[in-house]
Structures are given as structure tokens and as C-alpha cells.
Chain A
Amino acid sequence: MKKQIDNIWIGQKDLTREDDFMNTAEKEFAEEQVSFADMTSNLSGNRRDFLKFLGFGLGAATVAAGCDIPVKKAIPYVVKPDQIVPGVANYYASTFVNGGDFCPVLVKTREGRPIKIEGNDLSPITGGGTSARAQASVLSLYDTNRFTGPKLKDGAGWKDTTWVELDKIVSTTLQSSRNIRLITNTNMSPTAKKAMTEFTTKYPNAKVVTYDPVSCSALLDANQKNFGTRAIPTYKFEAADVIVSFNADFLGSWISPVEYAAAYAKGRKIDDITKAKMSKHIQVESHMSLTGSNADNRILVKPSQQGVAVAHLYNEVVGAGVSVTGLNDKAKKALTKIAGELKSTSGKSLVVSASNNVNEQLMVNAINHALGNYGATIDFSTPSYQRQGNDAELKACVEEIKAGSVDLLLVCGANPVYDSAFGKELADSLSKVKNKISFAQVNDETTDLCDVVAPNHHFLESWGDVEVKKGHYSLIQPTISPLFSTRQAELSLLVWAGSTGVDVTKEQPYYEYLKESWKSGMFGGQSEFSTFQSFWDSVLHDGVYSSGSGSSPSYASAEIGSDITKPSASEVEISFFETVHMANGQYSGNPWLMEMADPVTRTSWGNYLAVPVNFDGVRTMVGLNDLVDGDLVELTIGTKKMVVPVVQQFGQMHGTVSIALGYGRTQAGNTGSNVGVNVNDCLTMGPNGPAYYNTSATVSAKTGKEDDFSCVQYHHTIGVKGIDKESGKEINADEAALVFFDYFTGVKGFQGALTDRSVIYTSNVTELKGRVEHLQERRKHAQHLNAQQIYGGFDDMYSLGHHWGMHVDLNACIGCGACTVACMSENNVPVVGKHEVSRHHEMTWLRIDRYYYGDVENPNTIYQPMMCQHCDNAPCENVCPVNATNHSSEGLNQMAYNRCIGTRYCANNCPYKVRRFNWLDYTKADIWPANQPRLQEESVPFMADNLTRMVLNPDVTVRARGVIEKCSFCVQRIQEGKLTAKTEGRALRDSDVRTACQTSCPTGAITFGDMNDKKGALHAKLESPLNYIALEEINVRSSVTYTMKVNNRDKSLDA
């Protein structure tokens, strides 16, 4: 039965009003109240103990008071570099690259330490946006698990060696090896490729094998056939009116999400409601991907039906007669209708597919060609090199290894034992390879099987270049001298190749090599600069350089084979997907990313089996095997059995389940090892490469309950409604409070009779006019209510000077989570670990609430970034007994940590639930070991290590245990921006103050500024009639404005 819910909901527990959820929603803190009697009953002691404690206390206090203040040193430079002013940050343009992941960045350094990643506005590709992965990359520089120098295998462990020694060993090995294979992930660096070519020229029996952890091989092969070039075109999502994506998570993880998100959001923002127009996005998938959650319509097809779904659309658009059997009727009907729409918007549509089947990709290409999209929404004149993997090559290489014909294997920036589809075979047969050399920075599953480690620099210590698209270059420059005795992999290859182009006696040999490469290459292709030095300086300063695009190859039709994904009759199918934070395990060693909640399932620290939700429409659930959140089940895929926790996922197709890739690593440092389960060995193998699903999956009934269910979905909820047990009426059940009905009796009740809380407003683009009127009425009503209250507003107080405010465009927000990681990085927000997350103790200042609305079985999704709203009539401020949180004249809700005594009244009184309490010593600011939680049994707690602490922002206080913290609107940036304006003696500009979340956002959803600045960008945004204030009716006078979420859902496709 179809059930349409008018309002938003958070998840299953919200819809069913499950008791434990309703109980926690009432309270700010999930903890069970411990009564004083309970506390004292556990204490055993007598008068003697009391005297002992008293004596110790007095003694300790006396000693502490009598201690001399420690002598602090101020150590200046011997020769101070001109460009460094202690206390002032320097920014260097560089590029974040990890395999095919790419993001031009500015690296913020303080006193020579990189501490923050910002987007590079000059990049024509990303336009200054970043991803969570790029934001977190600075933390991996200070990873305590990094190799400290060259190593040789010594039993199960490693022994130190020197580079000279290592070079000697390797060169002997190289001379004596018959077949040499160099396995890498996508490599976009022209100069690194040049180095590899030098290597393969010197050793003709060497071959480079490239693969991607999540394969795009079929797409590349199809393009090779149709366009004669094995590359990926530039997709112009901004130019498309209709976007059809077959399982391609282009906003989260597919090829170039930062670029695509920026382009996509352009077609989704509504600037003028009278001329509201937005692209229509249809996602064909079985599990709720990040991209699917942003789509207007999702067409549910099982993973095994993806092939026929593409074929059906192909038939409808091109008029071909590929046989289509096994596609569900609903999808078939919807696709037929979409085909008609696509044809009517010829040249303004875009069809993409993540399929790893060449024939399906050829059909997609044929569809795009037939629709006239090439040259319009798809540009082949600037092909992208962000995916270069070739499954066939890898397969051949694995076969060779299995046959024992490879003598030397070099693994450079790849971890095929874990993340390739042939991982298990490789692991079993690597012993047949005589010598194995890894360039890994941190030990991983592949490196663990190697004999020699020649550790590479981190990208923030490296020189390098990137040709992300044809003619679009970025440079990588070091921002810190190497922390350890590592050597750039390219240099190692050049040294072993005995290259004449590299002079190892130089201080930075690879830098010279790179410059030489640019001098002979890119310098010749430009005419702006006459000398190389000026050209080089300019590119290094900007970080990016474009030499202009070439011509587009024309489409040549190719024969489409009949081998496409075959629909299966299996009862349960499972799909495997890449998440926005873990990728395929490349980032699992990074604590920030590990703790970041997946935007859709909102789980962290582990991969959860997403099972479909069955809702009977009357608040009861009949789910798959009656499973609910946090249940443990036995999942069997083929022959592999594993125990996984379950999360109920709206929008997950019935008859399918899904689970994320990238977990269950065994060698990923302290953070990433043994978290979740590895499903890379469960992929379905096609003729050449893997497909990311499996049809032989069975899910058992509940076998247990997960101890630490770390899903932040139901933490910190706002606007929850419930039924009052006494009156039976629907009430606002968000937070219980002690209400005094008369002078003597305090009764637990719920504040406010308003059940219709304005958390989210939604509209379909076709109904926009009416919905905006509705919104305005609601706002007027709220303002009317507010006017009845005695609070005067004091608006005149904020009219002087600055009045800081923020605008969040929910139509641009795709929920990617870059802002949440940027916030952690900027504000020294601690990582707390799985157990603490399960206890609602995550410390994120900025969370992204995910809400569903509409069709229960196939809902639409809204992402709402929620941070301190800096209310001008803030409920938290009134209840602080020590005035630790109070209001500034600039409209900031200030938090003085050293004044806070930790009563947590403020958090209890916050309607948005954005205040976080340091239950334990997460940042290791105090010295009692018992207060220091471990993330993963590590010997030194994360953040207690001096290396890790180098990432801290010196302008932001590191909070101790027992205090409340929350979003400060990046007050350190506000103060810095104001000072810049003051020293220059001019008015403050928008560009002076930009918060960390704002600069990280790939789609420009967040605008921060001075509400008093009538000419500022924020003021323009505040004019939109789509704007509303969350919980406006409670008169807290929030400084954050959201926009109504508008979708373009085509209801006829649901029929």
C-alpha cells in the first residue's frame, strides 16, 4: 500500500514512535540518570578513607599552589625566512590527489605547519569547492602509523634500513628480474608518467598496470570504441534539463564529485521564484545513494536489472530492439515515459551510468548521441583523466602472478590485495613473486605482503603535477619539509632507472626534474610568459594552469554486444557501494573520515547492512526478517558468511539490501583496522571486471544486538511529535520540561502547544507559488505569536556595527559532508570513537540532519546543515548559572570555555540541540589517563600524540573535559577578517570573513556575512521569499536562515 506522509520524518523510529526513541528525544542527553543513592551505594569507604582523601586533596592543593610556574621558552629563528611572520598564516596552492580523487587546494600553514585545506577558487574545474576527503587529507600527514623511513621485511615486522642500502638491494633485484610489474591506481601526473616511462625504457620487461579501486573500466572501454580515446568526457550537469543516472553516484563518489556537484547545484538553485526552473534528476538504483537521495525521482530496479533498464531506455530512445526481459513493470513504465521526455529535450539532457559492463556503457553513449548531448551537455574536447584503470590489464597481471612469471612487483599508491576485485587471488599468489616493493606511506594489506618498503611522501610534502583534463594542469608543492625519512616514489623510480635527468645531489631532485619537464612541455604551449621562471612562478602561485582545449573527436557507432547484466530471480540481491568518506578503504586510516557519518545512513565507524523498510501506514513496521536498527545478522554472500549490523534504510528497494565498500580492513593503522566487514571479495565477476552487486545473498534473522550502534540518525533530533499519554492529543514531544501548573506542583510536560514545528519546508517546483504563500503565512503566524511575547527584541542593539548571520540554501546542499570535516579541522573538534558515538557523544559542531518526506517507500530527501543558530534571544544563555555563554553585540552566541562549569543546562535548553559536552578528555587537554578514551585500543590515545597535535589550529582553544562547546560562527575568522579591514582602514568586505563550512562547500550552499551590510552577498540572499527560520515560532531569533527545499518530482513516474 502506498503511503504518502505530508510531513518530514527522520527514520523508522520516528514514524513508528518507538518508545526508546521518544524517550531520548525528550531529553538532551541520552544517558540514564544516575541517582545519588546509586552513586553512593557503589562507594565503599570509611572515616579513614575520607581522611586520606582529605589529606591528599589538601596536600595536592598545597603542592600545586606552591609550584613555580614552569619556565617557558621563546625560541626565534636563527635566520628568519622573509615570508614567515609568526602568528600569520601562509597559504600555498597545491593539489589534493589520491588516485583518481582530485581537488585543487590552498594549504593553510602556520609557522611552517599545514593545518587546514581550503579550496582553490582559481580552478576552472572545482571553482573552490572541496570534498570531505580533501578536507581530511591534512590529518593523514600527521598519521602516527606512517613509515618513518625505508624498511625491509623482517619476519612479521619491519626492520629499518637506509636509502643507500635499499637502492643497492633494489638495483640488484631489478637487474635479475625477468618480468617487472608496476601496479598503480589512476595516475594523472604527466611528469610521474614520464618518470615511469624512463623506468620502463630502462627495464623493457617492466610494465605499468593501472586499476581503480572502484572500476570505471567499462566506461573507458566504451569511449575508446566510440571516440577512439580512453578517457572520460566532461559532463556538464548545469546544462542539462533532464539528468538520468543509472546507479552513478556522481555527487558523492563517481569520478569527479566536487566538479559535478558544483555544476549540478547550478541547475537546482532557485533565484527568482516567478521564473522557477530546475533540472529534473532521475536516479535508477536499488539502494539509496547520496546522489539518489538528491534526485527528484528514483526508479527502483534491482542491481541485476540495471542492464535491462539501460537497454529499455536505449530501445525507447534509439528505437533499437534489444531484448528486455526481467525488468520490473513500474520501472519499465517510468523509463518509457522518461524516454519521451528525453527526446523532447534533445541536447539538454544527460544520461550517465556507473555500470562496469561495456555493452551497457555503449548503449548509454548511443543514447546520449541520439539525444544530441555530445557537444552540448557532454564535452569531449577536454577529456578527463580521473579514471584510467583497466580491469583487463589487472586481470592479466594477476594471471601472470598466479603463473609465477612475475619476478618483481612494485606497488605504487595502490592496495590491490584489499581493494581490487582480485584481492584474494593476489593475496594467495603473491608469495610466487620473488621480490615485492611497496611505496606505501602507511602499512596496508598489500604492503604487508611485500619485502621492501620505499615509503613515499605525503602529498603535502611532495612536488608534482596533475593533468586532470586535457590542457588543465595543477601543481603540487610541498608545504612542509618531509616529517620522516621518506622519498618521493617518482624519485625512487628515477633513481632506480638511473635517469640522467635527475641529479640526486640536489636538495630537491624531483623538483628540478619537474621544472625541467614543464620547461620542455607546458612552457612551450603558452605565449603569455616569455621566460620560464615567470611562467613557473605564476603557475605555482595560482596552482592551476589551463592551456586551452583541443577538438572533440566525433562519435563513431560501435557494435553493441548482447552480453549485458542478466536479471536474476534471486530473492535477495545485495549491492555494494562506495561512500563519500571511505571510498574503497583508501581513507579508512583517517579518524576524521572514519567518524564522519555517512550522509545517507548516518552511520559511522563501520559498514551497516541497509535493509528495506516496510511501513504499513499505521505506525507499525514489518521489515525484512523483522530487523530493526542495530540488530546483528548473519549475511551470506556466495560462500562467505559474516556478521553485520543492520540499519533500516528508506528508499532501499524491496528484495535488495546494500552494504558499503571500504571497511573490514586488516592493515589500516590504528583507526581503520578491523572496523566493519570487507565485501571486496563478494563482487560479481564479469568477463573482464567486477560488477558491484551479488545475487546470491541471504540475510538471517536477528542473531544479536550490536554493542555500540553508532548511527547518529536519532541523536540530537528536533521537531519530534508524539502522543500525550493523558490527553491522547498530538503534542510536541521534542523536549520534556518541568512545567509548573500552579504554585506548588511541578509536572513533567512538554513546552509549547505547537506541534507544527517549522524545521523544514518543501515544495514541488510546479506548486511553488502556493507553497511560498503557505510559507509566508506560517512565518507571519509565527511572527504574530512572537509579537505577543514580552521579549522586546532589542533589534536596535544589533543595528550598530556587525550583525553576523548565515544563509543555507537547502536546494544547493547535497549533504556531502565536506563542511562537517572542514569544521572539525578548523575548530579542533575532537574525534571520540565508536563507543562514544553510540552514547550520543559525537562532538561535531556542525551536523547534517537528513529528513525524508513524501512517499514512504520511495521518499525524497532533504539535508539540513544544523549548527548553532546564534539566536538573538537565546534560551541557552538565560540558563547558564555562571554566564559562560552569553551574547555579543555582534549577534554571536559566545562560549567562554574557561568559565563553563559543565552544568549542561544550556544544552538541555537548546531547541536545535547543537551544544556538545566533553564527557571525556577527547583532546587530551588534561592528564588523568582514566578520562582519555581510546578510539581503537591504540597505545597512545589519538590526539595525545605530539605528531597528531600538529594539526591543531593554534587560534582555537583546545577544550578540556567537562565543558560545553558549539559552533562559534568561526569567530577566530571573524576577528581575523575584522582586523584585516581595520589595519587597511576600510570597511569590511564579504571576502574578509568566510567560515570554514562556507569555503569548503562545493555547491556554494552556505553564505555567511554581516546582515547589516546592505551591499553584501548575504543581504541579497536574505531577500528570497523561499527563506525561513527553523523553529521561528519559538521566538529565539535565530541568525541562520534556510530556504524551502524545492523538488522537481514527477508524480506520474510513481504510478
Chain B
Amino acid sequence: MIYKHLKIKSIATILFMWMTLTLSAAVSADAGKELFKNNCAACHSKDMRSAATGPALGGSQARWADDVALYKWIRNSQAMIQSGHPRSVELWNQYKPTVMTAFPKLTDDEIGSLLAYVNGVYDGTYGPKKDVAAGAGAAVKTEEKSQLPLYLIIAAVLAVLALLLTKIISNLNQIAAAKDGEYVEAKTISQILTSKGVVTFLIFAAIILGAYTTVNKATELGRQEGYAPDQPIKFSHATHAGVNKIDCQYCHDSARRSKHSSIPGTNTCMNCHAAIKNGSAYGTAEITKIYASIGYDPATNKYIENYESKTEDEIKAIYTKWIGDEYKRVKEKADLDSEGERIVSTQWADIKKSLTNDRKKQIQGPIEWVKIHNLPDHVYFNHAQHVTVGKLECQTCHGKVEGMEVLKQMSPLSMGWCINCHRQTEVKFKDNAYYANYTRYHEELASGKRDKVTVADIGGLECAKCHY
């Protein structure tokens, strides 16, 4: 009888465990959302209301009216433009030369679910509306948060249920025992809670949970998703890439030909800032740092001779004068008032602080930016492969940089994240003669046996592609 007793007890315990585990399972994903994330999110805003690289998608079905044309447009926008379709041409005129990536492989169903997702988000019937411009990771997190109380309630209910069940079982056992003429003392709730089985389970659960968390946290050590440090210059990508629409690769010119995307040299800044001397947000405060780095005198529009050998006082004289003069010009004042003097001295202090540090004592010389996207030393990543060969948008990994006032790391840059993309991303297979030696894939593509070749198909998941 004791045997039977134990059995029922352990079944209850297992039931309880199972229920707890089910609670931690992930939420289900919607097909359209997944498609949007993989194909569209790089260029189209997730709130469906604001324009990004591409226009806001909310209400597009209404604007197009004709679904057939819209489907065609999504599959190959350039063909539509060339055919002279009025809505297409209108959009092209608005957004050229940015070309929308063609998605010839999307099925009608897929586009249908995409549009369903777009409409859902637009009219607020799908998911949380506040999910603005955040990456996939952030989105998952908010969802987790919003559902946590619910889980807790369910867990509590289930725990009570389990407790009640155990109590009932124990009572039943007692009755059964009484029937057999034995007497078993009924267990109180507190007895059950402190029974060996429950305590063992709790310890076991705590160890599992602790180990799980430790491993996860350990894996995440060194990852810096969301990292947005202060930079020596309050450089705004929103102003440069967003408002002024400067192409990413104008400044990050190595991205197409090197492993590094490279931070531009000060001389690249000077291409524009020889003329643009006042910033829209900070006036002279930030732009003067460029001049102090390279030795440009904005007052005379000339590079300063022998700038390298100038003393700090000489440099200070040049640039405090410039800041003061600009203040007077903007405020239309003849003399520097106390407010002006305060501005000059704080701006100069900031320039000095930004351009010098423990190792670099002098103001002249390179601007030491804080590196945001850091990969471990044993990882080889090549920008050219992704930008030139893979023809990826910068935003795919870096997020909507053109909307960032302070640059922030959008992606975890974890191996799982890389691998996932390699599994899903299609290789630009047909347009590149390099891939001609993959004859079997070409045959399979032609015969329709295969609909696409992903990076993983050509070995993109193998160790020595990134680790050597």
C-alpha cells in the first residue's frame, strides 16, 4: 500500500513539473511577422506608420487598391517601374535611387500573410503597438514582460491545484486504508509541503534553474546588444544618414572592399565640414572638435601650418576665438558677454576632454571613437563579403542607423544570430559567375527541385568560414 501511495505522489510531482516547464515555453510566431522580419524590416519601419529607407507600409493595400499590381510590385518593383505603372512610378520618383529588393520567391499566400501582418499592426489589431524601431530581440523581451504576470497567476493556480490534488489523493489513500482496516493519519498541508518529495523537487528545480541561468548568462558574457556609449563627438547618424541622406558607404568606404567597415578619417569629415561649420544641434561645440583634430582654421578656411608642433595654448587661442566669434555672429553682438564666455570655456573644455586621454596627451591627432561592434578575436568577419557579394543592406545587422541620434548596437552579434541568418539568407547565386561551379544546384534550380540556395547550402555554417 505504501508503494501505491508513493506512486500516486510521484505522478503528482511529475505533473507539477510538467506544468511548470510548459509555462516557460516560447510564444508562437506568426508567419507574416516572420516574413516581415526576414525580408522587410531592414528597410520598412516596424510601426507601419513612419517612413524609413522604404515607405511606411501601413495602409499600402488601400493606397494601391489593385492587389495584383501590389503583389507584382513586391516581387519585382523595378519591372513595374519600367512598365510604367502609375503608382509604381510615383513611388520611384519619391524614393529613387533606392531600389527595393526583389522577392520573386514569395508566394501569394506569403504575401497575403505579410499584408495581414502589416494591416494588423497598422490598425492595432495585432500585437503591441509600441514596438517602435526595436530589433527582434527587444520585441521578444517586451512580449515576455507583458505576459509574465499572467504566467505567474497560472503557476500559482496550478500550484494550488497540485496541492489540492495531493491533499485529495492523500485523503483518498486514507479512506482506502481505513477500508482495509488500517489507520493512516491524514497529512496537513504543511506536512505535504515539508515532505521529502516536495523538498527534493524544489531543490532539484532550483539547481536546474540555477544552472540554466548560469549557462545562459555565461554565454551572453561579452555580448553588448544595445550598447550605446558616449562618443568623443556627439555625432548623429540621424542627421547625417537620416536627414541629409548621406550614403553609409560614403564615410564607411572600406565596407565594400575590406573586412573592416572603418571609421572615416578626419579628412573625410572635412569634405563637408570645411563648409558646414555650425551643427544643427550643437552649433560649434562638436564640429570644432574635427577642426582641432586635423588643424583647420574655420575662420580663414585654411589648414594651419605646422599644426603638429603647436602648443595647447596656441590651439586654444585659435579655437576659442572661433567659438566666440561665431557666438557673436549668431547672437548679433559686438562683444562677448558673460554667457558667451561661459559657452566658449565649456566648449573648449569639452574639446580638450574629447580629444585627449591618458595615452594621448595632445589635442592634435586622431579622434578616438569608442568601438561599439566588437567581435571576439577568434571570429573572422568580412564586411566586403556581406556588402559587396551578399548585397545586404547595412541596416540588416546595424538596424535603423539613420534614425539613431546616438549609435546603438542593435544585434547581439552572437554566433546563433549569425548562423540563423546564414540559414535563411539566399545567396545571390544566379548573378555571380563565381557560383557557376555549383552545377548541381543550378540544375536543381532550373528543374524547380530547389527554390533557393541559402548561405548554409554552400557551407555557410561551417567552422572554418569564420574561425581560423
Contacts and interface: CB of A to CB of B under 8 A. Distances in A.
Interface stretch (A82-90, A323-331, A392-400): A82-90
Contacts of B366: 75-78
B459 interface: yes
A81 B268 CA distance: 11
B258 interface: yes
B347 to A, nearest CB: 21
Contact of A79 (B294, B438, B459): B294
Given A888-B464, A979-B382, A72 B370 contact: yes
A986 B441 CA distance: 17
A844 B157 CA distance: 65
Given A87-B260, A800-B438, A77 B467 contact: no
B432 A79 contact: no
A896 B439 CA distance: 29
Contact of A87 (B258, B365, B370): B258
Contacts of A78: 265-267, 293-294, 365-366
B384 A987 contact: no
B109 interface: no
B369 A979 contact: no
Interface string B207-230: 000000000011001101000010
A1006 to B, nearest CB: 20
B263 A985 contact: no
Contact of A80 (B229, B265, B370, B465): B265
Contacts of B385: 979, 982
Contacts of A71: 229, 370
A894 interface: yes
Interface stretch (B75-83, B321-329, B372-380): B372-380
A73 B258 contact: no
A1012 interface: yes
Nearest to B374: A72
A886 B467 CA distance: 12
Interface stretch (A336-344, A817-825, A954-962): A954-962
Interface in B243-269: 254, 257-260, 262-268
A535 to B, nearest CB: 31
A85 B369 contact: no
Contacts of B264: 76, 80
A79 B265 contact: yes
Interface in A63-106: 65, 69, 71-80, 85-88
Contacts of A897: 378, 467
A957 B467 CA distance: 8
B370 A896 contact: no
Contact of A76 (B259, B369, B378, B462): B369
A957 B468 contact: yes
A76 B254 contact: no
Interface string B425-468: 00000011110111111000000000000000011001111011
Contacts of A958: 377
A755 B262 CA distance: 58
Contacts of A87: 254, 258-260, 262
Interface centre among B265, B371, B431 (most CB of A within 10 A): B265
A988 B388 CA distance: 17
B459 A801 contact: yes
Contacts of B378: 897-898, 957
A551 interface: no
B434 A988 contact: yes
A73 B440 CA distance: 46
A801 B380 contact: no
Interface residues of B, number: 55
Interface stretch (A281-289, A371-379, A604-612, A968-976): A968-976
A981 B464 contact: no
Given A79-B294, A888-B459, A888-B463, A69 B468 contact: no
Contacts, number: 155
Interface in A926-968: 955-958, 968
B194 to A, nearest CB: 30
Interface centre among B377, B434, B462 (most CB of A within 10 A): B434
A1019 to B, nearest CB: 13
A802 interface: yes
Nearest to B267: A79
A955 B389 CA distance: 20
Interface centre among B263, B378, B440 (most CB of A within 10 A): B378
Given A78-B294, A888-B462, A975-B380, A800 B368 contact: no
Given A86-B258, A87-B260, A979 B384 contact: yes
A956 B380 CA distance: 9
A982 B434 contact: yes
B468 A983 contact: no
A898 B375 CA distance: 14
B42 interface: no
A239 to B, nearest CB: 41
Contacts of B221: 65
Interface string B258-296: 111011111110000000000000000000000001100
Contacts of A955: 380, 468
Nearest to A79: B267
Contacts of B121: none
A956 B259 CA distance: 13
Contacts of B369: 73-76
A547 interface: no
B262 A892 contact: no
A978 B260 CA distance: 17
Contacts of A681: none
A406 to B, nearest CB: 44
A987 B370 contact: no
Contact of B258 (A72, A88, A987): A88
B367 interface: yes
Interface in A885-924: 886, 888-890, 892, 894-899
Contacts of A982: 385, 388-389, 432, 434
Contacts of A65: 217-218, 221
A658 to B, nearest CB: 42
B9 to A, nearest CB: 36
B437 A1012 contact: yes
A802 B438 CA distance: 9
Given A76-B262, A956-B468, A986 B433 contact: yes
Interface centre among B254, B294, B437, B441 (most CB of A within 10 A): B437
Nearest to B303: A79
A897 to B, nearest CB: 6
A135 to B, nearest CB: 21
Interface in B350-404: 365-371, 374, 376-378, 380, 382, 384-385, 388-389
Interface centre among B439, B441, B467, B468 (most CB of A within 10 A): B468
Contacts of A801: 437-438, 458-459
Interface in A682-722: none
Contact of B467 (A69, A898, A979): A898
A983 B388 contact: yes
B261 to A, nearest CB: 9
A1034 B26 CA distance: 49
23 contacts: A71-B370, A72-B374, A73-B371, A74-B368, A75-B369, A77-B265, A77-B267, A78-B293, A86-B258, A86-B262, A88-B259, A799-B440, A800-B439, A888-B462, A895-B463, A897-B378, A898-B467, A956-B468, A968-B468, A971-B464, A972-B380, A979-B384, A985-B431
Interface of B: 217-218, 221-222, 224, 229, 254, 257-260, 262-268, 293-294, 365-371, 374, 376-378, 380, 382, 384-385, 388-389, 431-434, 436-441, 458-459, 462-465, 467-468
Given A886-B462, A888-B459, 15 more contacts: A65-B218, A75-B366, A76-B266, A85-B262, A86-B262, A802-B437, A957-B377, A957-B378, A957-B467, A968-B464, A972-B380, A979-B385, A982-B388, A983-B389, A987-B433
* Shortest Cβ-Cβ A-B pairs, 10 listed: A80-B265, A87-B258, A894-B464, A77-B265, A74-B371, A87-B260, A87-B259, A896-B463, A889-B459, A72-B371
